[in-house]
Structure 1
Amino acid sequence: MKEKVLKLLIDAEQFLSGEEMSHTLGVSRTAVWKNINKLRGEGYCIESVTNKGYRLTMQPDQLDAYEIEQLLGSKKLVEQVFVYKSIDSTNKEAKRKAMEGNSYTALLLSEEQTIGIGRRGRQWVSKKGAGIYMSLLLRPLIKPINASMITLVAGLAVQRAIGQITGLNSQIKWPNDLVIRNKKICGILTEMSSEMDFVNYVVIGIGINVNNQQFEEEIQEVATSLSLEGGKIYPRKGLIIQIIKEFEQLYHQFLKEESLQFMIDSFNNQCINVGKGVKVEGKDQNIIGNAIRVTEEGALLIGLENGEEMIINAGEVSVRGLYGYVD
């Protein structure tokens, strides 16, 4: 009942009387009043005026599955929304749901992660209520070899969404980070389960430092948040919805082409690697060169000191002047 009352308030463009709400929901005005108070107790600011009724004036910055479903609308990229107060990792939970035999696509969000995972198994610090910790569970009908390109699709979607919601200019560090003023604000981790020629599912984990005000000493020189950069607190729900909208548009086009050709110019324009000196940490040796561009297949093309060019498909890439790399 509480969720239904909230939906009426969200959808209303003006004051809504208790009588109207009780009639629509088929309950007593007392029941409406009790649920209004429950919502107030959860942080929703609901104005009440005699002879006018109720009006929602502010929503708390806490994540609610029902509310996010309503904000997403009827689009089919995300069929289920799950929100947790605390979880080990949204990526881990997404994989658990995928292995249960369900066929739906899903968005998973948590107020905090106790074992957030970054690239190469590193821990992603997930402060409660400060950031966005989300995973998309998808079932793309694509060749497994092309699945890694979805990381770049997600990267451009997040970069665009941040600009739309905050006005801040972030840049993409190939293949899976976003930075502002050379400090990290976002990491993306894509995981896949596949057969020889079939993708069972793809999980895209996205972690964003949104309203973090401080960081642990060991990362404070390389990490920042949208709030620290913009000087204000930003609504996490609005950013989540914008990310999904931007991603959905790019993702559907990617599924048609299984190539990044349609967006690669935009990606390269926002890629901080391009035109910079880079160091690629390989299994046997490090490769030093200059990043030329990201290819339509999602690889990094670098120019070597001897004049040759090399395609880098994977590896730890350091960018000169970023995260302390100066050599």
Structure 2
Amino acid sequence: MQLSMKEQMLHILLEHNGEYVSGQKISEQLGCSRTAIWKHISELRKEGYELEAMQRRGYRIIQQPNNIRSHNIHVGLKTEFVGQNIVYHESVSSTQTIAHQLAHEGAEEGTLVAADEQGKGKGRLGRDWHSPKGTGVWMSLILRPKIPPQQAPQLTLLAAVAVVKGIKEAVGLDCEIKWPNDILIHGKKVVGILTELQAEADRIQSVIIGIGINVNVKEFPEELQNKATSLLIEKSGKEINRAALMQRILEQTERIYKQYLKEGFPIIKLLWESYAVSLGKEIKATTINGSFEGYAKGITEEGVLLIEDKEGEIHQIYSADIEISSQT
């Protein structure tokens, strides 16, 4: 997607890393007037950018806001299609709901819906997701893979690997994955992933991958304090730049997704298992048909969890809540 003039100007200023850029140079690079430059400078200031203007020297960025508007994500994003079309809302009921509608209307692959706040964030099994304003990453990504519908669960595992790698690159924190879609730090949930399909009997029309990340959440409701954490808490109170985090996750997603389409699931399976916290451990699986305990043995080529019960029988788990016995 073509960057807007404001985005191009922001890119120029960021490239100079706090040094002054003359108005003449910006004008020549963008092919616009000094008046247009001043207009965009004013818009950026309203959005929270701290900009300094000095006669004969030009403009420089002193401080960036920690927001996730489209241009904050676009500028510096190194992808071909993932996140190149961004639909941003300050507040929504759920990014998943909007992404479903856009996908139905023909939105291109890689389209991203992002919001600063969700009123009714969607988790698995119809649960709500705690999504306070301006503190997290709440986003939904539209993919259109040419794979059979039964292989769609693989994309949840792919997304989990991409998020773990993106967090490590952007923040330096190591995460673990609890099947199928929870990402943990020190046993507490920091990311949830929800994958939903639009499909016919024999083909996928779109896959909507919803990702919710507790980034700069300082505290949680009492009922979540022993279950949830945030990147800020794990970094000892150091605020995380949300746009930069999203960029790294989107870049990892595109890289791994392209590899997956070319080489298949085995490489994703190996990566996922390297981060898995539950494999080889005794777990409790709660499904719609009841609960049972056993040892997590691994996942199939379709991403289905294998559990061996106490009688040695192997069960295939397609959807369940998983508790690791040592944590119960």
Question: Normalising by the residue count of structure 1, what TM-score does the alignment of the two structures yield?
Answer: 0.92
**Which of 172, 178, 181 is matched with 1:173 structurally?**
178
The change in CA–CA distance for 1:104 and 1:252 in structure 2 (over 3 A counts) is closer
On the 8 A contact 2:79/2:250 being kept in 1, the answer is: no
1:171-211 alpha-carbon deviations (Å, 9 max, x no partner): 10100000111111010000001111110110000000000
Does the C-alpha gap of structure 1 residues 102 and 186 become closer, same or farther in structure 2, counting only changes over 3 Å? closer
Q: Which amino acid aligns with 1:55?
A: R
Matches within 5 A, 1:41-120: 41-73=46-78, 75-120=80-125
Q: What's the CA shift for 1:37? A: 3.0
Q: Report what 2:298 is aligned to.
A: 293
Q: Name stretches of at least 5 consecutive residues in structure 2 with no aligned partner.
A: none
Structure 1 residues 77 and 39: alpha-carbon distance in aligned structure 2, compared to 1, 3 A threshold? closer
Does structure 2 conserve the Cα–Cα contact (< 8 Å) formed by 1:7 and 1:67?
no
Matched position secondary structure for 1:193: strand
Alpha-carbon offset, residue 309 of structure 1: 2.5
**2:95–2:113 contact (8 Å) kept in structure 1:** yes
Report the identity percentage: 39
Which of 3, 9, 12 is the matching residue for 2:13?
9
* Larger CA deviation: 71-80 vs 174-183: 71-80
C-alpha distance in 1, partners of 2:107/2:213? Answer: 28
What is the total number of aligned residue pairs between the two structures?
322
Structure 1 residue 27, shift from structure 2 partner: 4.1
**Residue 245 (structure 1) shift:** 1.0
- Aligned CA-pair RMSD: 1.9
2:288 aligns with one of 271, 279, 283: 283
Please state if 1:248 is matched with 2:254: yes
Q: State how far apart, in whole Å, the 1-side matches of 2:298 and 2:109 are.
A: 36
Give the counterpart of 1:220 among 213, 225, 229: 225
Question: What CA deviation, in whole Å up to 9, does each residue of 1:136-166 have, x standing for no partner?
Answer: 0111111111011100000011111111111
Deviation at 1:254, TM superposition (A): 1.6
What is the alpha-carbon distance in structure 1 between the residues aligned to residue 188 and residue 103 of structure 2? Answer: 34
| Structure-1 separation of matches of 2:278 and 2:57 | 57
TM-score, length of structure 2 as denominator length: 0.92
- Whether the 8 Å contact between 1:138 and 1:203 is mirrored in structure 2 is yes
Structure 1 residue ranges without an equivalent (≥5) = none
Structure 1 residue ranges (4+ consecutive) displaced by more than 6 angstroms after TM superposition: none
